[in-house]
Amino acid sequence: MRSIQKTGTKEAGGKLERSRTSGARYVLLRPAGYPLKSVFQDNPEVDDPRLFERYAREQWYGELVRPGCYLFDRRLYPDFAFKVVKANPRVSVVGSETRIVVERKKAEAAKIKSEVTFDDVVGQEEARRKMKIVERFLADPEIFGKWAPRNILFYGPSGTGKTMMAKALSRETKVPMIPIKATTLIGEFVGEGSRQIHGLYQRAEQMAPCIIFIDELDAIALDRRYQDLRGDVSEVVNALLTEMDGIHSRKGVCTIAATNKIEFLDESIRSRFEEEIKFRLPNAEERLSILARNVETLPVEVGALDLAAISRLTEGFSGRDLVEKVLKVALHGAIIDEVTIEQRHLEAAAAKAKKETKEPPAEMFS
């Protein structure tokens, strides 16, 4: 190798160091992830170690490697980092004969973090009844074959328990769930969105049986009459349809999506769901049950309350409304007044929430 004159610059110093270092015989890499937090923290999967080795040698030819340093992908996964775990010699340069190996990730047992049970989802008896189908499938995916309930759609007003039902299903069946909001599937670069969808389903397949829960599906799946379909959104939708159609066989993977606006969904996506499960607003008896369950967990002293009266005052409220707009607001009011939670706090919170719901937005008059 020809000598390099030292120029005093950092770059020249790096070239000089490389010129005096022998070629690496062996390099062990560990996937380290992206410099910034991403939707998916998974590692790109190496399908063919020999093919990856050739790809890596061409990309990092001449790179100085030592244990602890990082190599950044510049092609398929821009900026994805690999940490050098071992190098032989310890300080060496990647050459045409370097053997490059990616460390295999140890399989980790999936942990079910949700504490939600079916009993926590008040009402929604029809939805609970239909969940038995998915429960049976997740208990023994092999016996279902082509009859597997692969794609389920939850729909109904916001705050009615769609996410809670999915969490309860995960806990009760002891099956891991990957929750994700549809908007986070839209990538910043061309092709990124489809890669994320593919990666999501690959991860689920490795954890199978597994539930993929996609919330706010309408964010990417609105009928073309209601949106100008951007290229990046179209790419995500097409990738999602490919996975839902089963072109890639994903045994033991069940997709559950949720939307508040089923009437606006694109028919090409809606038609992929073999089961649609409706969630409705709670009736007076169910509202009373939700209030009673949550009052027991309030962190301050509670006075004599007529929860039945509050239930009657809150017709049209979802379970989330009762917790966030009535009980939580009442709690804050009691803390400010430095008293126990009283009936007046609940009534004031309910009246305020109802007024805010009925009032038209100010911009309508501007």
Identify the residue with better confidence: 114 or 339.
Answer: 339
Per DSSP, the residues of 51-97 read: HHHHHHHHHHTT-EE-TT-EEE--SSSTT-EEEEEEEESSSEE--TT
pLDDT digits (tens, 9 = 90+) for 66-90: 999 999 888 777 778 899 999 999 9
User: What pTM was computed for the model?
Assistant: 0.66
The answer for residues whose C-beta is within 8 angstroms of residue 15's C-beta and 6 or more apart is: 4
Dihedral through CA 342, CA 347, CA 348, CA 351, nearest 10?
A: 170
Structure tokens at 43: 């590692």
Alpha-carbon Rg of the chain, whole angstroms?
A: 28
Distance CA 252, CA 139 (A): 9
Distance CA 330, CA 292 (A): 14
Distance CA 75, CA 318 (A): 48
Distance CA 310, CA 305 (A): 9
CB 235 within 8 A of CB 190: yes
Domains and CATH numbers, the chain: 10-102 (3.10.330.10), 118-278 (3.40.50.300), 284-358 (1.10.8.60)
pLDDT digits (tens, 9 = 90+) for 270-302: 988 989 999 999 999 999 999 999 999 899 888
Structure tokens at 352: 């305020």
Distance CA 79, CA 66 (A): 19
pLDDT digits (tens, 9 = 90+) for 85-134: 999 999 999 999 999 988 865 434 344 466 888 888 898 998 899 888 88
